[in-house]
Structure 1
């Protein structure tokens, strides 16, 4: 263990100092600035003032609890509400008559359903499935000679 320590010390002592880089040291001021000192003094003064406060200097205060009575309008509203509740709870259900409710179901007729299916089929149709087709005209229009010939025949008749 001592050999390692001696070797370590000798390597440190024999280290060439020319290989070290020069650096500038920046001194940091650990002391607080003037505003920090003033803020700290003010805080300490407040704490001491609270600790040394004389409780005997306080005057006794009486608190008045105000419980205002409701006005006449509020009283009438409360009475009406209670009256309605009592009427609902005391209602005689035997005076009611039985009624059958008819629920109408407005389903679309068959023509509307088929129209919707057709419109849906048209909108979802894949045009890529179509093939190109050449149309051959089998009933051509008559040329000028044929028209004139027929005019002559109809005029002579």
Structure 2
């Protein structure tokens, strides 16, 4: 590859160029490098090998060596009757242990939410009216002919009124 001509090189700022020319590598601080080994230790390898061996033994296990067993589940839960008796016992003990001296005396105001006789009579008459409409017997009606008593005027009568 040929060296580029001077005119083809990129232009560098004068300040940057003078800073680069006056740079001294002796002004740098010295630093020590430290190599870190990321390889696993012998203990890590032993742990990994143990874990691998356990997984391998589980995968290779022969289930035909197992014996058939019947499981017997023992449930020691109270039956429904015992639960009811316990609830009743708690209720009775709560009632017996109640301190009635903590109660305060109150006056009871009785209010009569029933309507008066007029309202009842009005509601009954309205109910009878609606009931009569719902259960009306249409067969008791007689046929009637409708007669038109207010006929519309003819064209001649309208023309006469316009002329008058």
TM bracket, shorter-chain basis? 0.3 to 0.5
TM score, norm. by length of structure 1: 0.35
TM score, norm. by length of structure 2: 0.34
